Amino acid sequence: MRLGITLLFINLYSLSVAQERVDSMALKSIDEVVVTATRSPRLLGNVAIPASIISAKTLYQSGSLRLHDILSEQTGIMVVDNFGKGIQVQGLSSEYTLILLDGEPLIGRTGGVFDLSRLTIRNIVKIEIIKGPSSSLYGSEAMGGVVNIITDRAGQHKTDANLRYAKYNTVDGSFNFSRHLNKTDVQGGFNYNRSEGYSLKPNSIQQTVEPYWRSTQHVNVNHMLNEKWKMGVGYRHNNTDIKNAIAVQNGSAIVISNGFERTNEYNITPHLQHRLSPKLETTLRGYLTGYTALQELKVKETEGGYDDRFKQDFRRIENQTDWQIREQSSFNAGAGIINESVSSNRYDSLSTKRKNSIAYFFLQHEEKLNKKLIIIGGFRFDANKAYSSVWSPKAALQYRLSDNVSFNLSYGRGFKAPDFRQLYLNFTNLAAGSYSVFGAQVALQELKRMQDAQLIQETTSLLGKVAKLNPEVSGGFNAGVKFRIASGVKGSLNLFRNDLTNMILTDVIAYKKNGGQIFSYFNVNRALTQGVEVDLEKKITATITAKAGYQFLYTADKDALANIKKGSVFQRDIQSGQVYRMTIAEYGGLPNRSRHNANLKLSYEHASGIFATTRLIYRSKWGTTDLDGNGLINRSDEYAKGYVQLNASAGFSVNKKCRVMGGIDNVLNYKDIQFLPGNPGRAGYIDIQVNF
């Protein structure tokens, strides 16, 4: 706690005593290059869609350890605890945001969520964030946006090592190296992360977060064959081991059962690049990745326990050609084939492999009509064996009113293909009420089998809606302005709206005679997310910078809105139990979305290498569970409380080769056992980095 107070006073003292005049040249920051927005290098200031960059310096000074730590501090991005650490972008949940590592998609989602805690921030040089539909370039899962983690692949001669120790005996160590050998660049590294876990409930047998360890190894080799040809290959391996201990009631006795969760992931990325001319370049990329997960728990004294096994493979070959037609005009085109498969004892059996293949191509053209106006148009076509073909167009423009003001406008169509879980899941949980979940492709045949065995009590009206799933589709609109004013303030404002159709939801299609429910998946709902985001930055002095961000978000199920307006939706009063018609004002929108979230960052940085930062994160209340039976969020007891979290860090350079940093996450020690189990409360750490 003392360290956190000290860090706060460093910033407050710096603000009060610093009187230096801001150099006007400091306001003219160098524009960073972003690749993800257009799949080719562009200056960030010239990108016509909502895009932002988290630099390596910001990553280090924040004290972030895993990817979700740094993303939680970004405007308009919410990190939620649901099958791991997932994110929301513009109110769209984790399953609609594509996570890339050096431009390649990462697989291994649970319940549609990619767990960001799998990724270390060590060796990351920057993170590019694109908000809004990006399916015109990246296909499925990019309906809400793209997060691209770009690692260090530079051909430099350097070696560095990091070691961190934090609360709960959390240890994180990494080693990275890079070498330039004639025409060959080699870069590699290793990261190890472990913790004893923690419990938010005193004297609890089962910990809130169980003990775990993770390790990641990677190596990249690039070789220049000649002036026109370049080739390379990368390899990455990640594995996680988690220990589980669960208390099980066996008659009057409590039995302690131990289990484990293990995951393994590998990525292989070969590529061949050919520069046909100074203005024409083509790249052939291969991508092979696999993910396996094993969860096992055995209770010897009872018939309980579980044994879940999951294996996913993804193969892709793609060619992309970039043509700089002239200085004001560029063209990108690409095509590829994807083959993927999954096997699991939740999808019938491990011996049954579910397969799918996708062929696609995309085109994009950017034209600078004059010094003020840039327009971008493009589309992608995906032919998927599991469902009908999908077109994903996108158009954007930027109008630069002056050197200090520019306007952006974009519209794109995004889509998300039904995943293997929604198509083929065949799972029954005997330990939790004997409920079953069947994918849309297997639901009818499984239900018929159970009816023939006289296991079904009754079916619901939703059974008639079980059919082949169509992709979820969205239309996304963004309109924004970037500005810089004379007082040294720069910032951006963006208005957004996403309209979704064919949303895939889960609901009950039948009841078993033993009381268990049977669920399946449907294309039913229409929904919307809309709002505004504001980012501001001011360099107060030569050493002090303030940044602030805010998002207002409104979400709704369109069908629910229509029914409320018709007066056909009712709710029950908490105190009296009286039933009355629900109003629009009482509707809380889609679950797990906060109406307001904001962040504030103060940072001090001296040329000597001393720095200090404090980051304040605010999230307003969010809906959790329907309690009055109308299926909607509308009562005060159906919300989780909002919160404020304060993170602080400070560091200095011992010499040119050694840096030391310390900090405290969650200085205010906010905890919510029920809705934020992944937040351990106040946690301090110390970090040492050595550059050889």
pLDDT at 537 over 80: yes
Residue 28: the pLDDT is 38
Strands of 37-123, DSSP E: 42-43, 51-55, 77-81, 85-89, 97-101, 104-105
* Alpha carbon of residue 24 to chain centroid: 37
Buried-state track 473-507, b at ≥16 Cβ within 10 A, e below 16: bbebbbbbebbbeeeeebbbebebbbebebbbeee
Provide the 8-state DSSP code for 641: P
Q: How many CB atoms lie within 10 A of CB 545?
A: 17
* Helix/strand/coil for 96: helix
How far is residue 75 CA from its own chain's centroid? 13
Beta bridge partner(s), residue 530? 497, 554
Q: Which of 46-60, 257-271, 439-453 has the lowest mean pLDDT?
A: 46-60
Q: List the one residue out of 367, 358, 421, 365 whose CA is nearest residue 390.
A: 358
Whether 47 has a pLDDT exceeding 80, the answer reads no
pLDDT band at 154 (very low <50, low <70, confident <90, very high): low
Residue 20 has pLDDT above 60, yes or no: no
What are the structure tokens assigned to 560, written together?
């629910």
pLDDT tens for each residue of 563-611:
999 999 999 888 888 899 999 999 999 988 999 999 999 999 999 999 9
Which residue's entry shows tokens 């999954």? 342
Q: And the tokens for 162?
A: 């990091």
pLDDT band with cut points at 50, 70 and 90 for residue 248: low
Same domain (yes/no): 205, 155: yes
Which of these three, 485, 514, 539, is where a domain ends?
Answer: 539
Of residues 260, 256, 247, 332, the one with CA closest to residue 296: 260
pLDDT for 474: 92
CB atoms within 10 A of CB 233: 15
Report angle CA 396, 338, 275 to the nearest 5 degrees. Answer: 65
Encoding tokens for residue 290? 């696999």
Task: Show the tokens assigned to 207.
Answer: 């910990």
**CB-hemisphere CA count at 13 Å for 404?**
9
CA distance 289 to 69: 25
CA–CA separation, 300 and 531 (whole Å): 53
Q: What is the pLDDT of residue 251?
A: 59
383: tokens are 């032919």
Residues 26 and 36 in one domain: no
Residue 181 near residue 190 (C-beta atoms within 8 A)? no
Residue 596 and residue 611 in contact, taking contact as beta carbons nearer than 8 Å: no
Q: Is the pLDDT of residue 306 over 90?
A: no
Q: How far apart are CA 282 and CA 474, in angstroms?
A: 31
Residue 435: give its domain's CATH number: 2.40.170.20
Q: How many other CB atoms are there within 10 angstroms of residue 553's CB atom?
A: 24
Q: Does residue 131 register a pLDDT over 50?
A: yes
Report the relative pairing of strands 435-438 and 517-539 from DSSP bridges.
Answer: parallel
- Same domain, residue pair 511 and 577: no
Say whether both 8 and 85 belong to one domain.
Answer: no
- 637 and 581 fall within a common domain: yes
The per-residue pLDDT of the chain, averaged, comes to 87
Kindly state the average pLDDT of the residues 626-630. 84
| Residue 507 belongs to domain spanning | 31-539
Task: Please check whether residues 11 and 138 belong to one and the same domain.
Answer: no
DSSP state of 30: P
Q: State the Cα angle at 445 between 440 and 451, rounded to 5°.
A: 120
Domain limit, last residue, from 492, 512, 539: 539
377-400 as b/e, with b when 16 or more CB fall inside 10 Å? ebbbbbebebbeebebebebbbbb
2 contacts: CB under 8 Å, gap ≥ 6:
none
pLDDT tens digits along 90-123: 999 888 999 999 999 999 988 788 999 899 888 8
Query: Comparing 1-5, 91-95, 144-148, 390-394, which segment has the lowest mean pLDDT?
Result: 1-5
Task: Quote the percentage of the chain above a pLDDT of 90.
Answer: 55
- Using the predicted structure, report yes or no on whether residue 516 has a pLDDT greater than 80: yes
Model pLDDT, residue 12:
37
State the Cα–Cα distance between residues 670 and 667, nearest whole angstrom.
8
Residue 308 pairs in a beta bridge with 295
What are residue 396's DSSP bridge partners?
A: 376, 410
| CA atoms of 93 and 88, how far apart (whole Å) | 4
Residues with Cβ within 8 Å of 607's Cβ and at least 6 positions away in sequence, in order, are none
Residue 1 in tokens: 């706690």
> Which of 267-271, 348-352, 633-637 bottoms out in mean pLDDT, i.e. has the lowest?
348-352
**Residue in this structure with the two tokens 């293909």, named with its chain if needed:** 417
Nearest CA-CA partner of 58 in 662, 606, 611, 539: 611
pLDDT of 260 > 90? The answer is no
Residues 143 and 261 in one domain: yes
Considering Cα of 39, then 42, then 47, then 50, what sign does the dihedral take?
positive
The set of residues, in sequence order, having a beta carbon less than 8 Å from that of 444 and lying 6+ positions away, is 466
Give the total residue count for the chain.
692
- Calpha distance 469→417 (Å, rounded): 9
- Over the stretch 649-669, which tens digit does the pLDDT of each residue have? 999 999 989 999 999 999 999
Model confidence over 208-238: pLDDT tens digits?
888 999 999 999 999 999 999 999 999 999 9
465: CB partners within 8 A, 6+ apart: 522, 524
Do 509 and 546 lie in one domain? The reply is: no
> Which residue is it, tokens 């080693």?
175
> pLDDT-based confidence at 678, cuts 50/70/90?
confident
Using alpha carbons, select from 446, 427, 447, 445 the residue that is nearest to residue 437.
427
CA 455 – CA 580 distance, rounded (Å): 38
For residue 194, what pLDDT band results from cuts at 50, 70 and 90?
A: very high
385-418 pLDDT per residue, tens: 877 788 999 999 999 999 899 999 999 998 888 8
Residues 521 and 650 in one domain: no
Contacts of 202 (CB under 8 A, 6+ apart): none
**Average pLDDT of 423-429?**
81
Q: Which one of 524, 539, 554 terminates a domain? A: 539
Q: What is d(CA 164, CA 480) in angstroms, rounded to the nearest whole number? A: 40
Same domain, 176 and 239: yes
Neighbours of 344 (CB within 10 A): 24
| H or E element in which residue 318 lies | strand 305-326
How does DSSP classify residue 205? S
Let me know: does 32 contact 54? Beta carbons within 8 Å: no
Q: Is 70 exceeded by the pLDDT of residue 252? A: no
**474 and 414 in contact (C-beta within 8 Å)?**
yes
Residue 690 Cα distances to 58, 186, 217, angstroms: 18, 20, 19
Looking at residue 207, its pLDDT comes to 79
Question: Structure pTM?
Answer: 0.88
Is the same domain home to 237 and 362? yes
The answer to whether the CB of 509 falls within 8 A of the CB of 443 is yes
Longest Cα–Cα distance in the chain:
82
Reduced 3-state DSSP string for 580-600:
EECCHHHCCCCCCCECEEEEE
Instruction: Provide the 8-state DSSP code for 470.
Output: P
Domain count, the chain: 2
Better-scored residue on pLDDT, 526 or 26: 526
- For position 19, what pLDDT does the model report? 34
**For the chain, how far is it from start to end, CA to CA, in angstroms?**
33
The total of other beta-carbon atoms located within 10 Å of residue 283's CB is: 16
Among residues 180, 160, 124, the alpha carbon closest in space to that of 656 is found at 160
pLDDT of residue 522: 84
Of 17-26, 187-196, 431-440, minimum mean pLDDT range:
17-26
Residue whose token pair is 């240890």: 171
Which one-letter amino acid corresponds to residue 556? A
Q: Distance between CA atoms of 619 and 505, rounded to whole angstroms?
A: 26
**Which of 34-43, 170-179, 624-633 is predicted with the least confidence, judged by mean pLDDT?**
34-43
DSSP structural state of residue 56:
H
Amino acid at 280: L
How large is the average pLDDT for residues 353-377? 93
> In this structure, are 103 and 211 located in the same domain?
yes
